[in-house]
């Protein structure tokens, strides 16, 4: 029987601590004090008679009990939010909404046409697009704040309770402005990027480990002049106006390269290919509008990359 002492505040607090992996950060997000968060988690653990988190100086991590409870707590909060949303939608005369998470590196390639395709089929559905680092988006998906995430496949430890649908694979590109000094050499030495400002993804970015491995494989140590950013708008503007080198997923700059605003350095990065796709929760049924959006994204991804492959041959 459900313990009547478990309240909604216990679930939201648990989910936020699990998402942030920090009591301090969870308190900031929930706008309550750190002692209040600790007390709420302690009450929940007492009600369940199980320890949900392991505490250490580096933060908190879910125990095995916590991982099991996370799946069902997330589903419960999602179901309640969907129930509240359904009342709002009835009051709005049936208007539906989808919360979509998109990595910044994917937002510029496939998603504009995919959403345009979806809106032609369901014009009354509001699509709320959220961009940010992969870890943040996965956390929001897990607790029911997002219905779907489009981006690179997350690390295995982040995929518990989630399902991934592969769309295509893309590589990492090194791009610069037209006329960049490195472009005077048909086969530029990649180690020469140390002579310039280099824009790289921060540690929380999904492609950060791949970029690090690529640089190490080519004998490049720490970059002396680097800027860490996930902002494609900043990266695009800064690279076009300076001699900076931008290391970014190809999908984020494919149109810039095609239009001649940026140039991809002729450096082999074939070992950086990674899967891009759709991530959903296993424990939550996919609604018809979300299914329609998934189909639109899949169709657009197929068409986009078929066209792109044909133009390269």
Q: Which residues of the chain are under the pLDDT cut of 70?
A: 1-3, 85-95, 305-313
- pLDDT tens by residue, 136-150: 888 889 888 899 999
The pLDDT of residue 102 = 92
The pLDDT of residue 235 = 95
Handedness of CA 121, 123, 126, 130 (dihedral sign): positive
pTM above 0.85, yes or no: no
Domains, the chain, ordered by start: 8-67 (1.10.10.10), 95-168+275-310 (3.40.190.10), 172-272 (3.40.190.10)
The pLDDT of residue 308 = 56
- pLDDT tens by residue, 176-214: 999 999 998 888 889 999 999 999 999 888 899 999 999
């Amino acid at each position: 029987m459900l313990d009547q002492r478990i309240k909604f505040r216990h679930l939201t607090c648990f989910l936020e601590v699990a998402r942030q992996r920090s009591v301090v950060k969870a308190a900031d997000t929930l706008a309550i004090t750190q002692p209040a968060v600790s007390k709420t988690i302690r009450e929940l653990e007492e009600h369940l008679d199980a320890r949900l988190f392991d505490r250490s100086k580096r933060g908190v991590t879910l125990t095995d009990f916590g991982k099991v409870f996370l799946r069902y707590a997330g589903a419960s909060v999602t179901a309640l939010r969907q129930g509240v949303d359904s009342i709002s939608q009835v009051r709005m005369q049936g208007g539906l909404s989808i919360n979509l998470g998109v990595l910044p590196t994917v937002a510029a390639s496939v998603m504009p046409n995919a959403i345009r395709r979806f809106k032609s089929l369901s014009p009354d559905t509001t699509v709320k697009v959220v961009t940010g680092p992969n870890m943040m988006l996965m956390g929001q998906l897990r607790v029911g704040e997002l219905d779907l995430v489009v981006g690179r496949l997350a690390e295995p430890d982040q995929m518990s309770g989630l399902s991934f649908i592969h769309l295509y694979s893309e590589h990492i590109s090194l791009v610069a402005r037209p006329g960049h000094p490195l472009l005077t050499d048909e086969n530029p030495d990649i180690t020469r990027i140390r002579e310039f400002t280099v824009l790289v993804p921060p540690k929380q970015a999904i492609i950060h480990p791949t970029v690090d491995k690529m640089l190490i494989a080519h004998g490049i140590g720490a970059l002396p002049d680097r800027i860490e950013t996930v902002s494609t708008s900043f990266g695009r503007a800064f690279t076009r106006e300076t001699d900076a080198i931008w290391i970014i997923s190809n999908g984020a700059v494919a149109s810039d390269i095609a239009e001649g605003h940026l140039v991809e350095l002729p450096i082999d990065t074939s070992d950086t290919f990674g899967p891009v796709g759709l991530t959903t929760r296993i424990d939550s049924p996919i609604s018809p509008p979300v299914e329609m959006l998934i189909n639109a994204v899949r169709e657009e991804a197929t068409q986009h990359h078929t066209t792109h492959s044909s133009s390269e041959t």
